[in-house]
A and B are shown apart, each in its own frame.
Chain A
Amino acid sequence: MDMLDMWAVKIAEVAAPNEVPLAPLTIRAYINGGEERADLFRSNKKGTAGGFDFGGFQAVFPLILQALTIASPILTSILSSVVSDLFLTALKNRLSKHDNQQDSTTINTLADDPYKPLKYCIAILSKELQDAKIPRKQADLIVYRILVQLLEEPESANLFIQRISEPPHATKKH
Chain B
Amino acid sequence: MQQKNTEGQRASFLPPWIWCWIIFSLVISFSDINIRRALIDLLFGTYVANPTASEGLTHFPFLFRILDITDLWPPLLLAAGLFTIFTPRLRARCLEKTYRLQVPDDKLPTSIIDFIYQYDRNLEIKVNLLRSDEIAFIYPLGYRQSAIALFAPLVFLWQGNRPEAEAILLHEIAHQQHGDILIAGEGSYLEKTLNWWLPLFLFTCFIPLLILWADQSITFLHSSLQSGLPLSRSLPHELIDLLTLFIPGWFFILIGEFLQTASIFLLPLIGFWCIEWNADQYVLSVGDYSSSLSRILTRIRSSLSWRQWLQARIAHPPIKLRQWLVNDSKNSIGIYLLLLSFPLAAFTLLLYVPPTVYTDYLHDQYYYGHTDILGHIAVVTGSVLVITAVLWSVSTLILLFWPFVSSYWSQFFHHESVHQSSQRERGVWERHKVYLLCACVTAMLSIWGYSLYWLTR
Q: Is the interface of B mostly helix, strand, loop or mixed?
A: helix
A22 at interface by CB-CB < 8 Å? yes
A20 at interface by CB-CB < 8 Å? yes
**Of B47-55, B156-164, B255-263, B410-418, the one with at least 4 CB within 8 A of chain A:** B156-164
Q: Provided the pairs A21-B159, A52-B168, A55-B301 are in contact, do residues A39 and B312 lie with their beta carbons within 8 angstroms?
A: no
Enumerate A11-28 residues with CB–CB distance to B below 8 Å.
17-22, 25-26
A58 at interface by CB-CB < 8 Å? yes
Residue of A nearest to B283 (CB): A51
In the complex, 21 of the A-B residue pairs with CB atoms within 8 angstroms, ordered by the A residue number, are A17-B160, A18-B157, A21-B159, A22-B152, A39-B100, A39-B131, A40-B130, A42-B131, A42-B133, A44-B134, A46-B308, A47-B311, A48-B315, A49-B133, A51-B276, A52-B299, A54-B135, A54-B300, A59-B132, A59-B153, A59-B156
Pairwise interchain contact A50-B301, C-beta atoms closer than 8 A = no
Taking a contact as CB atoms closer than 8 A, the residue among B130, B133, B137, B279 that contacts A43 in the complex is: B133
Number of B interface residues in the complex (CB < 8 A): 41
Enumerate A50-104 residues with CB–CB distance to B below 8 Å.
50-59, 62
B128 at interface by CB-CB < 8 Å? yes
A157, chain B: closest CB distance, angstroms: 24
Taking a contact as CB atoms closer than 8 A, the residue among B130, B157, B311, B313 that contacts A36 in the complex is: B130
Taking a contact as CB atoms closer than 8 A, the residue among B132, B299, B316 that contacts A51 in the complex is: B316
Pairwise interchain contact A22-B129, C-beta atoms closer than 8 A = yes
Q: Provided the pairs A18-B157, A52-B168 are in contact, do residues A57 and B135 lie with their beta carbons within 8 angstroms?
A: yes
Residue of B nearest to A43 (CB): B133
A14, chain B: closest CB distance, angstroms: 15
Q: What residues on A are CB-neighbors of B155 within 8 Å?
A: 21-22
Cα separation A42 to B98 with both chains bound (whole Å): 12
B109 at interface by CB-CB < 8 Å? yes
Cα separation A84 to B160 with both chains bound (whole Å): 34
Binding site for A on B (CB under 8 A): 100, 107, 109, 128-137, 152-153, 155-157, 159-160, 168, 171-172, 186, 276, 279-280, 296-297, 299-301, 304, 308-313, 315-316
Q: What residues on A are CB-neighbors of B315 within 8 Å?
A: 47-48
A45 at interface by CB-CB < 8 Å? yes
Q: What residues on A are CB-neighbors of B172 within 8 Å?
A: 50-51
Pairwise interchain contact B109-A53, C-beta atoms closer than 8 A = no
Q: What residues on B are CB-neighbors of A40 within 8 Å?
A: 130-132
